[in-house]
Chains A and B, each alone.
Chain A
């Protein structure tokens, strides 16, 4: 195994072009586990840790430009207001040590359905900026996940920046695991209200081959909120609407039975999380509230 250590982004792109099988490593959260467990023995490792710009972020008018290697700890501590859903998701990533190392780029690169960032990115709305020696492009998050642990990257491309829409309303994220910390998701759900566009967006993790949005549920809720004039009145959402929304979110799941849990449980848990989060976010919207900060 060769260990490539580019000193700059340009060198990294050149190395990836020269060795398309090279596996990029930044925090190592996923890559090192796979190597330690002998699940993969890549020919080349491409170390991105010398490229400082990947650990930088900038808050713009509409979006946050989040470098692929910005650690979860920074998101939790410095971007709670702009990215509340992702900040809540970051809290659930592994242990403090790993949150100091791991970043969203790794979650996207691995594209495991169990990655904690995905539901929050899907719900907020994001674009993944990738680059190769051939040039740069932005992949909408909705098109990014293409299969189990597969993404839309070409072999010579590297993830540079994630452009995430700043929260314009309340956002929530929950994850179910069978212990209270340091646990891989049995399933996860994220919800973002976008009062500016009178829409909601969702993200489901670990309950389908890829991270997915519950589009039918979103459309149902968008229509119900619109028709009932809820956005304007801020009145309490009818329980039957919340139930129907949660049911449709659950119906968007396509889970499996595995050693961590049953498909039936995952559908059930996503339903509960969706109903609760709609309650939490809507209550906050009604209060004219500031983006909800998890009380962690």
Chain B
């Protein structure tokens, strides 16, 4: 197994300072840590109004009437809008299926659904006016899980479905279903020496970004609107907003404002249409900012899931087959559920060679909160389950869990369950080897300081619950596979405009894309690419807006790959133009202009040997080279609806974790001591940034292992903990040391050989921690997040927080 990559093909300019491969600093970093950065919620416009949303207080109800008279009469209120006020024939929106009403029409389908919007001259006035709107709800029975959603006579969340999935789903309350069949799972099961089955439950995680949904809509003189908003994909928003406003897309001009985190939660619209409607109605700028409570209702969450798995293996440790059924709860609206289903199904076998599979994944319509995109996107839930299965299989065979995984690890050339060949490095066994080879952190670190226990190093931390009593260490491993980029035949392109000109005697590159910088560091990396390709020190990244073509979404680990690829591609074209200019002006002075491969470095045209032919300033003079080009990665195919076969994905991304935990086994409290990661990133364009991504993803995986869960009441379908008091995310005291081992095995199909990196670490972190807790406690733990009551046998059955059913081992 090679541990270093094949040389990445730097097209040129590797000697330019601040180019790719360097840990250049983020332009927004200092501003953010000093509190100076302007987030979307900080925007201000003279004369602006404040928008507010009235949301349903029940999960499923017919709306008999809405009385807005008193609210509208409140002094300071400029507008109160309901469904009846929508200006265009299009009244719904949605990423893939337009099933989401802009404002509730006759019924609400989940707790917190928007019913009316108000604009007032003060946010408190708007809130008080909202409280005066009288909505007469006639409550309807709710469906909250597979059993209730598909029972005979179950209420349909969406009647009269006509979307493109409605024809092939077995029940109208199933959004989409994707089977994958390959080989002969039943036949292979007969050859298995051991068969292990398990049922797993994955709780509803929230993206928990810190900057709440917010934006500013400014009506324009041409009857259009300018919208400044924190989002993940400007052009996708635009396509959904304009039809509902009854405006052509060119009259809705969008500009990205400061985004305080996204993680998938800003793929769907929040305040965009509401803010524009209010601005167009009142003729005034309208600002909307959700508070933390509303934010929990203002975006989709990660799909909670129930997963059933069966694996078989021969005595010598080879996996014979896998059968699984993954049921995702999509909640009341489709959002990106169909794509999440495709991911969950196609990645359900994990990074292993399994020739015989029988897979089914589906997403339900229920009256629970809508679920959609979140970092890891369907692959997270599957990884939690298949990695638990790997440990059980290894135990059933009496094999070391890491060696067992290595024995079955996929590599370059392996076929996926979809029949797609993995055609770039897949160093699964090597990643596992690396995390396992790392020395373990010292035992009992709480005693290191002196005679008294340092409670900060113990489960419970400063809460002072143990001085070492009941504390047991556990170690666990996991590895995962994530796709990169949009899949299943989606035209996943990006656009970049690059301008090269001379300003005050210095060559300057201006890069303009619609890429949403959501904190991932895209603007840093994009500037590095331009420096490398154009050999200039000064690069200006223009604000992202819709005056340039779509960059696609900041999700699916894709922006460095796709928009980075678009910038590289456009820079190459700009470079060719510049060299043409140079040949025209100076070609006769030096034969190398005609014969040699020329580079742009340090503001000069040079030969490969380093001989300077001309300065860029002299080549360009007053001329600017300015190009806007689209760029696409290799196309993908849809999965066959019956067999799941198809080259559905662009690229795969792999990470492995070793978790070391200390569990207070009496109190059921967990301290994660260390989370070691090894990940192949193909090429680290900015090592500091990519390590930050990996540590962040790892921590988000930790959150859903031990604390993060939106709790939905199974009877009322109402959210019980919409606050950071009760929806807990890890603090720095919960975050362990995260040593990161970067591999750079180039993918020859990708720009610079890079591999999308942002999501893979979110997958394997959670199952590694679960495995470590199982190792410490001996408990089965088929559910995440693990709560103290699961570790102490003090749970209740009714709340769905039980430890789940156990697996059984066949002889």
Contacts and interface: CB of A to CB of B under 8 A. Distances in A.
Interface stretch (B451-459, B565-573, B590-598): B451-459
B462 A37 contact: no
B78 to A, nearest CB: 21
A178 B789 CA distance: 10
B788 A296 contact: no
A259 B734 contact: no
Given A37-B293, A176-B669, A181-B733, A264 B462 contact: no
Nearest to B131: A38
Interface string A263-284: 0110111001100100110000
A276 B469 contact: yes
A176 B462 contact: no
Contact of B788 (A172, A176, A259, A279): A176
A179 B464 contact: no
B466 A178 contact: no
Contacts of A228: none
B6 interface: no
B795 interface: yes
Contacts of A33: 725
Given A262-B789, A264-B796, A37 B723 contact: yes
B702 to A, nearest CB: 10
Contact of B711 (A172, A174, A182, A259): A259
Contact of B728 (A178, A262, A264, A280): A178
A259 B731 contact: no
Interface string A169-184: 0001111111111111
B504 interface: no
A268 B465 CA distance: 13
Contact of B463 (A37, A183, A259, A293): A183
B730 interface: yes
Contact of A174 (B449, B463, B723, B799): B463
Nearest to B469: A276
From B463, B467, B725, B801, name the one whose CB has the most chain A CB atoms within 10 angstroms.
B463
Interface string A226-238: 0000000000000
A288 interface: no
From B455, B459, B460, B733, name the one whose CB has the most chain A CB atoms within 10 angstroms.
B460
Majority secondary structure, B binding face: loop
B461 interface: yes
Nearest to B465: A174
B297 to A, nearest CB: 13
A135 to B, nearest CB: 38
B726 interface: yes
Contact of B792 (A37, A88, A265): A265
A195 interface: no
Contact of B794 (A180, A260, A262, A295): A262
B716 interface: no
Nearest to A188: B463
A43 interface: no
A186 interface: yes
Given A38-B127, A257-B799, A265-B668, A177 B463 contact: yes
B796 A180 contact: no
Contact of A36 (B291, B449, B462, B671): B291
A163 interface: no
Given A37-B723, A178-B706, A261 B467 contact: no
Nearest to A189: B465
- Interface size classification for chain B: 35 or more
Given A178-B787, A276-B469, A294-B464, A259 B792 contact: no
A191 to B, nearest CB: 12
Contacts of A179: 706-707, 728, 730-731, 733-734
B726 A260 contact: yes
Contacts of B666: 272
A36 B449 CA distance: 41
B721 interface: yes
Contacts of A295: 449-450, 452-455, 467
B796 A280 contact: no
B45 interface: no
A172 B788 CA distance: 22
A180 B733 contact: yes
B577 interface: no
Given A36-B291, A175-B463, A180-B671, A265 B454 contact: no
B721 A259 contact: yes
Contact of A273 (B452, B465, B668): B465
A228 to B, nearest CB: 23
Contacts of B706: 178-179
A91 interface: yes
B667 interface: yes
Contacts of B789: 261-262, 264-265
A269 B667 contact: yes
Nearest to A95: B731
A92 interface: yes
Nearest to B798: A257
Nearest to B713: A259
B731 A181 contact: yes
Interface string B427-464: 00000000000000000000001101111100111111
Contact of A265 (B452, B470, B794): B794
B731 A182 contact: yes
A253 B671 CA distance: 27
Interface string B458-490: 011111111101100000000000000000000
A3 to B, nearest CB: 14
Interface in A215-267: 257, 259-262, 264-265, 267
A296 B464 contact: yes
Given A264-B794, A265-B668, A178 B462 contact: no
B134 interface: no
A180 B730 CA distance: 8
B122 to A, nearest CB: 13
Contacts of A92: 462-464
A259 B718 CA distance: 12
B61 to A, nearest CB: 22
A120 to B, nearest CB: 11
Nearest to B720: A259
Contacts of B720: 259
B247 to A, nearest CB: 34
A284 B84 CA distance: 72
A262 B734 CA distance: 22
A250 to B, nearest CB: 11
A186 B721 contact: no
Contacts of B669: 176, 178
Interface string B143-180: 00000000000000000000000000000000000000
Contact of A176 (B460, B728, B801): B460
A184 B724 CA distance: 10
Interface in A32-53: 33, 36-38
A261 B667 CA distance: 13
A181 B464 CA distance: 11
Contacts of A293: 452
A184 B728 CA distance: 10
Interface in A188-205: none
A174 B450 CA distance: 21
B795 A265 contact: yes
Given A88-B464, A268-B794, A276-B465, 14 more contacts: A37-B293, A176-B669, A177-B463, A178-B707, A178-B788, A179-B707, A180-B460, A180-B462, A183-B728, A257-B796, A262-B795, A265-B789, A276-B467, A279-B469
Interface of B: 127, 291, 293, 449-450, 452-456, 459-467, 469-470, 666-669, 671, 706-707, 711, 720-721, 723, 725-726, 728, 730-734, 787-789, 792, 794-796, 799, 801
13 contacts: A88-B464, A91-B462, A176-B669, A180-B733, A181-B461, A181-B732, A181-B733, A184-B726, A259-B720, A261-B787, A265-B668, A276-B467, A279-B469
The 5 closest A-B pairs by CB, nearest first: A180-B461, A295-B452, A265-B794, A264-B794, A181-B733
